[in-house]
């Protein structure tokens, strides 16, 4: 008997840890242990044991850490965490419409060390609604492992897109709607305000939530042109730089359409 796509989605949701558990870890002693492990490793000229030390302190909360840079005065380690939660429990409520239901969220964790201080930054940057995940299963097919891989690609694209919000000039506390390319399809991404702390500084940021997926054959020719430009900009080779990428995001911003929730 072929497994129902909804069952595959439910299985994937069930395998992901609760967002509350991540919050508890970030507010507890676990984060202090991870910061200590990074601090002890930062004095070394080579990364050596940093991945093992920091990974042990992170436990099962985050993925295996990887070294982004390890130069004198600039040492950065990155990992991420997948969690599930009601959307309304993660984003900031307001007078605007917010998608309801559950979503899987990606939280990025960065350790940054220089000669004077070691800092840590955890930011929830992207997410995908359960309904969009079910669409992904129907449109792209594949087994449970393939669905998870495709979800991670979609979340990564939304995450890269999210990096341009700060340079876009758009207000951080107001949702906007965008189309983001995903293979031949289009992700309907809603930027939603979220409370975050970046290197000890409290601020309002944005989480890029994938609300639904538009199949490629339903994308208009005008939308396809914009998507093709964005597809190139989301790559390392085609990225136009922070300022130009911010402008691209700003001109693509649209009011949120609740009918697409």
Query: Among 118-122, 132-136, 138-142, 191-195, where is mean pLDDT lowest?
Result: 138-142
Q: Enumerate the domain spans of the chain.
A: 5-260
pLDDT above 50 (res 1): no
pLDDT bracket for residue 22 (50, 70, 90): very high
- What are the CA-CA distances from residue 207 to residues 39, 62, 93, 164, 189 (Å)? 29, 18, 13, 12, 10
pTM attached to this predicted model: 0.92
DSSP string, the chain: -PPPHHHHHHHHHHHSEEHHHHHHHHHSHHHHHHHHHHHHHHTSSS-TTHHHHHHHHHTTSSPPPEEEEEETTEEEEEEEEEEEEEGGGTSPP-SS----SEEEEEEEEEEEE-SS-EEEEEEEEEEEEHHHHHHHHHHH---HHHHHHHHHHHHHHHHHHHTTGGGT---TTS-EEEEEEETTEEEEEEEEEEEEEETTEEEEEEEEEEEEEE-GGGS-HHHHHHHHHHHHHTSTTT---HHHHHHHHHHH-B---GGG-
In this structure, the chain runs to a length of 261
Give the whole-angstrom CA distance, residue 110 versus residue 120. 6
Per-residue model confidence (pLDDT) at position 245: 96
Task: Express each pLDDT in 97-125 by its tens digit.
Answer: 999 999 999 999 999 998 778 888 999 99
pLDDT above 50 (res 83): yes
pLDDT bracket for residue 2 (50, 70, 90): very low
Q: Provide the percentage of residues in the chain whose pLDDT is more than 90.
A: 70
CB atoms within 10 A of CB 123: 19
pLDDT above 60 (res 150): yes
pLDDT above 80 (res 200): no
**Average predicted confidence (pLDDT) for the chain:** 91
Q: What average pLDDT does the segment 60-89 reach?
A: 94
Task: Express each pLDDT in 231-255 by its tens digit.
Answer: 999 999 999 999 999 999 999 999 9
User: Which two tokens mark 10?
Assistant: 């439910």
Q: What average pLDDT does the segment 17-31 reach?
A: 91
Burial 190-218 (b: 16+ CB within 10 A, else e): bbbbbebeeeeeeeebbbbbbbbbbeeee
Query: Among 101-105, 137-141, 158-162, 189-193, where is mean pLDDT lowest?
Result: 137-141
Q: What average pLDDT does the segment 29-55 reach?
A: 89
At residue 10, φ and ψ (nearest 5 deg) are: -65, -40
């Amino acid at each position: 008997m072929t497994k129902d796509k909804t069952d595959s989605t439910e299985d994937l949701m069930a395998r992901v840890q609760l967002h509350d558990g991540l919050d508890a870890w970030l507010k507890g002693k676990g984060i202090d242990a991870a910061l200590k492990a990074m601090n002890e490793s930062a004095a070394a000229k080579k990364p050596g044991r940093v991945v093992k030390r920091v990974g042990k302190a992170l436990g099962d909360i985050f993925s295996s850490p990887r070294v982004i840079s390890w130069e004198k005065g600039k040492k950065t380690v990155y990992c991420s965490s997948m969690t599930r939660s009601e959307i309304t429990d993660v984003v900031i409520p307001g007078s605007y419409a917010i998608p309801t239901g559950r979503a899987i969220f990606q939280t990025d964790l960065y350790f940054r060390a220089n000669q004077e201080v070691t800092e840590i930054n955890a930011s929830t940057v992207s997410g995908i609604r359960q309904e969009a995940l079910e669409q992904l299963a129907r449109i792209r097919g594949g087994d449970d492992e393939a669905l998870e891989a495709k979800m991670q690609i979609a979340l990564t694209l939304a995450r890269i897109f999210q990096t341009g919000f700060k340079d876009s000039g758009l207000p951080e506390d107001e949702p906007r709607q965008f189309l983001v390319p995903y293979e031949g399809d289009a992700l309907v991404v809603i930027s939603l305000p979220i409370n975050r702390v970046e290197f000890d500084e409290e601020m309002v940021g944005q989480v890029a939530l994938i609300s639904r997926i538009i199949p490629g054959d339903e994308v208009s020719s005008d939308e396809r042109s914009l998507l093709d430009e964005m597809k190139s900009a989301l790559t390392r080779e085609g990225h136009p730089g922070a300022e130009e990428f911010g402008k691209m995001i700003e001109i693509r911003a649209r009011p949120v359409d609740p009918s697409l929730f």
